[in-house]
């Protein structure tokens, strides 16, 4: 793949992360409103899935995007991929992880970086619907947390993944959760990004505690000032892990990339503030089905292009073209 070169006016991993998320253009034209469906989960909870339906004859591809930590269909990358799909005449879907669609979910759980069973259930339901309505192939992309979870699904599914999707891509995924957790828990990252995430994650957790009294220790949660401590109190025990170390070990996609049996593109900028470059996989650590793209610049889900304020359409175009050509 052609390498990415950051604009000269946007130096460094932090600027390349923050600016695209807040100010870069996401689409050339206003996007149509999403069509939302609410699905009941096997455990009696719900998730919300936002769709953009393309015009024209079937069959046509469906691009499914799994968002990142505290993301949604309105995240900058989700709208950029929506613009790409609309321009290509593809259908588009953004399933929201539990509690991320604007309404707290019902069950005593939320979502996590290794949530491959939830990914599998969502993709299987989408595939079944398309099989009965004459839909075309499915392609899936996951961003950050969603990218790691999507790769974990592909790893667990093995050969069977090809029955559901034709190809997958991950963008800025923390493939080694311990390395990513350590990076976001120190210095500037802790002051800015950790504080930003916890500002929404803690209130959601407290709302979950109000639904299910006694679910976890409220005081310990309030005292958590990094993701390691938050995951120890909330994420790990609610999702069947012993503690944060167990969760980060079992949830990481990096050790199992050799098990993937469908075309998979793994995109990580070396200067990503959340994902240390030294923690990224090398070609010898992955299987024949995995393509690594590790440009020197791009930040975390940034990859802005053009003159100020820049745009973020370039990454969806490159990733989407790769997915379209994957066999």
pLDDT tens-digit readout, 88-141: 999 999 999 999 999 999 999 999 999 999 999 999 999 999 999 888 999 999
Structure tokens at 78: 């989700």
**Which residue of the set 272, 279, 297, 311 is catalytic?**
272
pLDDT of 155: 98
Residues 67, 133: contact at Cβ < 8 Å? no
Structure tokens at 145: 């947390």
The two most distant CA atoms of the chain are separated, in Å, by 56
Helix (H) or strand (E) holding 20: helix 13-22
**Which residue of the set 144, 170, 172, 279 is catalytic?**
144
pLDDT of 2: 62
Cβ neighbors of 13 (< 8 A, separation 6 or more) are: 269, 271, 272, 273, 297, 299, 300
The percent of residues in the chain predicted with pLDDT above 70, rounded, is 99
Q: Is 33 a catalytic residue?
A: no
Beta bridge partners of 64: 93, 140
| pLDDT band at 272; cut points 50, 70, 90 | very high
Cis omega before residue 55 (within 30°)? Answer: no
Q: Which CATH architecture has domain 13-176+255-325?
A: 3-Layer(aba) Sandwich (3.40)
Residues 170, 176: contact at Cβ < 8 Å? no
Q: Is 144 a catalytic residue?
A: yes
pLDDT tens-digit readout, 186-225: 999 999 999 999 999 999 999 999 999 999 999 999 999 9
Residues 126, 64: contact at Cβ < 8 Å? yes
Q: Is the pLDDT of residue 1 over 60?
A: no
Other CB atoms closer than 10 Å to residue 3's CB: what's the count?
A: 9
pLDDT tens-digit readout, 18-37: 999 999 999 988 887 999 99
Q: Is 272 a catalytic residue?
A: yes
Q: Where are the domains of the chain?
A: 13-176+255-325, 178-251
Closest C-alpha to 271, from 141, 195, 172, 182: 172
Beta-strand (E) ranges in 152-226?
A: 167-171
For the residues 284-303, what does the mean pLDDT come to? Answer: 96
Q: How far apart are CA 276 and CA 199, in angstroms?
A: 24
Which is it for strands 46-52 and 91-95: parallel, antiparallel or unpaired? antiparallel
């Amino acid at each position: 793949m052609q390498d990415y070169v950051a604009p000269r006016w946007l130096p460094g991993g932090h600027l390349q992360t923050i600016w695209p998320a807040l100010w870069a253009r996401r689409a050339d034209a206003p996007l149509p409103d999403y069509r939302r469906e609410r699905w009941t989960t096997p455990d009696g909870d719900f998730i919300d899935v936002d769709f953009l339906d393309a015009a024209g004859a079937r069959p046509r591809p469906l691009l499914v995007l799994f968002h990142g930590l505290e993301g949604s269909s309105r995240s900058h990358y989700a709208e950029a991929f929506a613009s790409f799909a609309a321009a290509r005449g593809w259908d588009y879907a953004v399933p929201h992880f539990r509690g991320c669609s604007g309404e707290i979910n019902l069950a005593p759980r939320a979502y996590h970086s290794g949530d491959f069973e939830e990914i599998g259930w969502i993709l299987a339901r989408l595939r079944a619907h398309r099989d009965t309505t004459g839909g075309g192939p499915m392609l899936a992309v996951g961003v950050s947390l969603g990218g790691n979870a999507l790769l974990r699904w592909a790893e667990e599914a093995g050969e069977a993944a090809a029955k559901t999707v034709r190809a997958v891509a991950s963008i800025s995924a923390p493939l080694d959760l311990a390395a990513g957790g350590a990076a976001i828990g120190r210095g500037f990252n802790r002051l800015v990004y950790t504080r930003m995430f916890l500002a929404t994650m803690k209130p959601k957790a407290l709302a979950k505690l109000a639904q299910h009294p006694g679910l976890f220790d409220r005081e310990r949660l309030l005292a958590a000032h990094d993701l390691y401590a938050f995951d120890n109190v909330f994420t790990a025990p609610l999702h069947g892990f012993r503690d944060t170390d167990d969760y980060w070990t079992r949830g990481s996609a990096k050790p199992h990339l050799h098990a993937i049996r469908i075309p998979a593109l793994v995109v990580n900028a070396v200067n990503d503030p959340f994902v240390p470059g030294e923690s990224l996989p090398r070609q010898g650590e992955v299987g024949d089905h995995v393509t690594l793209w590790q440009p020197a610049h791009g930040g975390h889900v940034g990859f802005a292009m053009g003159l100020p304020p820049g745009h973020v359409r370039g990454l969806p175009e490159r990733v989407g073209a790769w997915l379209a050509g994957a066999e």
